[in-house]
Each structure stands twice: as C-alpha cells, then as structure tokens.
C-alpha cells in the first residue's frame, strides 16, 4: 500500500520525470518495498507537530529524529519521510517530503511487540542520515501539501477494502442458519452496513477526496464490529486462541492506522458537513 498508493500517487503528482522513471516501475513490479516514516512519539493525530529535522548541507540534507509505528519497516527498501526543514515556521509550513533509501547509514529500525503477538511495526531512529538533494519530493517546506494528498489516497484505499470485505460478510450470511435470532439480526445488520459501504465505494470510484474519510471510518468500524461478532458467535473458548481471538486483537489497529476514527469524524464534521471547527486550546 505505501508503495502503490501513497508513494506512487505522490510521485505522479509531484515527482520529476527522472524520479518517476526511476521509482514507478520498481513500485509496480514490487521490486522495491516502501514504508512510511510519518508518525513520531509526540506526533500522531497532530502530525504537524513532528520534530524530526532535515538540515541542508551543501548539496545534501542531514536528517535527525525518531519515528514510530512504521509498518513493515524492516523489510522495506525505501521510505517516505516527513521532516522539518524550516525551523520556527508555522507547524504546517516548514515540513518537507523526502524519499529515503532505508539502507542509508544512520537508519536504525527496532521491532515493537503488539498485543496480537506480531511485530509488524518498528520504531525508527535517524542519526545523521545523509540524503541527496533529489531525495526531496515537491518544493522544500511544502511537504504538508504532498503528505495530505498521500494520506487522502491512503484513506480511500483503506475504505475501498469494504469491497473485498463484502465477500467475508456474504460468507457469514451463509452460516446464519446456525445462529439464534439475535445472532442472525447482528449478521444482517453488518451485511447491510457492508453493502452500503460497497455501493458508496463504487459510486465514488478511484478519485481520492475528503469522502474517503467516510469510507475509512465506515469500513474500519465495520471490521471491528465484525471481529467482535465472530467471537461472540464462536463462544467464550474462542477468546483463548485461534482465528477469532487473533482477529479481535488485531481489529483496533485498523481504527487507528491512517488517521483514527475520531480524526475521521472531525474531518467529516468540519469539511463535509460544514460544522464549526474544533477548538484549538493552544491558540
Ligand atoms: C496498524 C497501524 C499501522 C500504522 N502504520 C504506520 C506507518 O506505517 N507509518 C506511520 O508513520 N504511522 C503508522 N501508524 C501510526 C498511526 O498513523 C498513528 O497511530 C495515528 O495517527 C494516531 O496517532 P497516535 O498513535 O500518536 O495517537 P494520538 O494522536 O496520541 O491519539 C490518541 C487518542 O486521542 C484521540 N485524538 C487525538 N487528537 C484528537 C482530536 N483532535 N479530536 C478527537 N480525538 C483526538 C485519537 O483519536 C486517539 O483515540 C500506524 C498505526 C497503526 C495502528
């Protein structure tokens, strides 16, 4: 996803012809795997408060900082990175978007253990990492704009998972006869929500927009409720081990990744429904 959806989308919108020619064929073939270095220990939902710095030094940049929750970092060949290049600028202004070779000296990745037993994530330390001048994507200081287009694409992609998810719901419907009346009602409710999201995704098509927030929110909340319904119908023993328990322990992650459900609700409220903006206590 980070290669095909976030990076390729950003390259097509902001990359030079040379950069596109170098990276896009490798993304399409899967020859280079990409990861995303956006989140930091103190910058998740409030991504604009990130503090990783990239300082110009002749014809290169020197990067220092710490990132976290980097999915598949250890297997990635390349990373998209957000770093602050204009110290003191207003938070959204001084950020730049870089393409990084993860084998560069000074890039260290350490696995993080999750509650589902996996180690899908890494925390990443960047110590005096040297980047060539052409590692910059888009103008210096305008990385926020590049990142927002990439993150909108990411939400659209996660939301489109509703189309594949419908097949799983169809499979649940076929087991409806084994459930009691309440269980059947729950499965029917999930199926109706899934069908609505699928139709909405089809109507939206492949164009990324703020509507992606509705699809992302709807799909990941549905996945969470489906994982809980599976455990309930499988009985208490299913909580100890097996696919139902694994699904339940993994389900909260999807509500957080790519912007939490609360953040999607803020976007829907402010940018689609036109509700007043949330208060900013720091202002
Ligand atoms: C499965 C998974 C994969 C991920 N992969 C990557 C990756 O590859 N690269 C990467 O950079 N990051 C990745 N992340 C990190 C992810 O982007 C962040 O976890 C997410 O943006 C939330 O940030 P946070 O964890 O710092 O939580 P916080 O921002 O600290 O939020 C904590 C809680 O406060 C709520 N909250 C915060 N601000 C508001 C607000 N303004 N209004 C209402 N509620 C609010 C949040 O909804 C949440 O419930 C991944 C996360 C997960 C779970």
Q: Which atom, in ligand 1's list, is nearest to the CA of 37?
A: 11
Distance in Å, CA 29 to ligand 1 centroid: 30
Instruction: Give the residues surrounding ligand 1 with Cβ less than 6 Å away.
Output: 35-39, 44-45, 69-71, 253, 256-257, 259-260, 262-263, 266, 278
Ordered by where they begin, the domains of the chain are: 2-141 (2.40.110.10), 147-272 (1.20.140.10)
Angle at 126 (CA atoms; ends 123, 130), nearest 5 degrees: 150
pTM: 0.91
Task: Give the burial class of 59: count Cβ atoms within 10 A of its Cβ; 0-12 exposed, 13-18 middle, 19 or more buried.
Answer: exposed
Give me the tens of pLDDT residue by residue for the chain, a chain 283 residues long: 899 999 999 999 999 999 999 999 999 999 999 999 999 999 999 999 999 999 999 999 999 999 999 999 999 999 999 999 988 878 788 999 999 999 999 999 999 999 988 999 999 999 999 999 999 999 999 999 999 888 888 877 776 776 777 787 788 778 666 788 888 888 899 999 988 888 887 776 655 567 788 888 998 999 899 999 888 888 888 888 888 899 899 999 999 998 999 999 999 999 889 999 988 776 6
CA distance 107 to 101: 9
Q: Which atom, in ligand 1's list, is nearest to the CA of 35?
A: 8
CA distance 261 to 9: 23
Distance in Å, CA 95 to ligand 1 centroid: 19
Cα–Cα separations (whole angstroms), residue 76 to 104, 149, 259: 12, 22, 22
Please tell me whether residue 176 adopts helix, strand or coil conformation. helix
Q: Residues with catalytic annotation?
A: 154
């Amino acid at each position: 996803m980070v290669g095909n959806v976030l990076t390729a989308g950003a390259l097509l919108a902001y990359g030079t012809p040379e950069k596109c020619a170098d990276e896009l064929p490798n993304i399409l073939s899967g020859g280079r795997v990409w990861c995303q270095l956006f989140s930091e220990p103190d910058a998740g939902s409030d991504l604009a408060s990130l503090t990783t710095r990239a300082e110009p030094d002749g014809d290169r940049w020197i990067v220092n900082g710490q990132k976290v929750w980097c999915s598949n970092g250890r297997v990635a060949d390349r990373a998209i990175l957000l770093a602050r290049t204009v110290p003191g600028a207003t938070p959204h202004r001084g950020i730049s978007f870089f393409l990084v070779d993860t084998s560069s000296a000074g890039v260290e990745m350490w696995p993080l253990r999750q509650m589902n037993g996996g180690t899908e994530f890494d925390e990443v330390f960047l110590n005096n990492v040297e980047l060539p001048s052409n590692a910059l994507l888009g103008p210096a200081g305008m990385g926020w704009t590049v990142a927002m287009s990439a993150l909108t694409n990411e939400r659209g992609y996660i939301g489109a998972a509703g189309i594949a998810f419908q097949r799983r719901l169809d499979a649940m419907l076929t087991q409806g006869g084994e459930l009691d009346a309440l269980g059947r009602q729950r499965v029917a409710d999930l199926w109706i929500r899934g069908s609505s999201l699928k139709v909405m995704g089809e109507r939206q098509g492949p164009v990324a927009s703020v509507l992606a927030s509705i699809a992302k929110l709807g799909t990941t909340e549905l996945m969470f409720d489906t994982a809980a319904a599976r455990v309930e119908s499988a009985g208490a023993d299913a909580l100890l081990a097996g696919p139902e328990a694994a699904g339940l322990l993994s389900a909260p992650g999807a509500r957080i990744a790519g912007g939490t459900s609360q953040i999607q609700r803020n976007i829907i409220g402010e940018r689609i429904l036109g509700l007043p903006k949330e208060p900013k206590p720091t202002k």
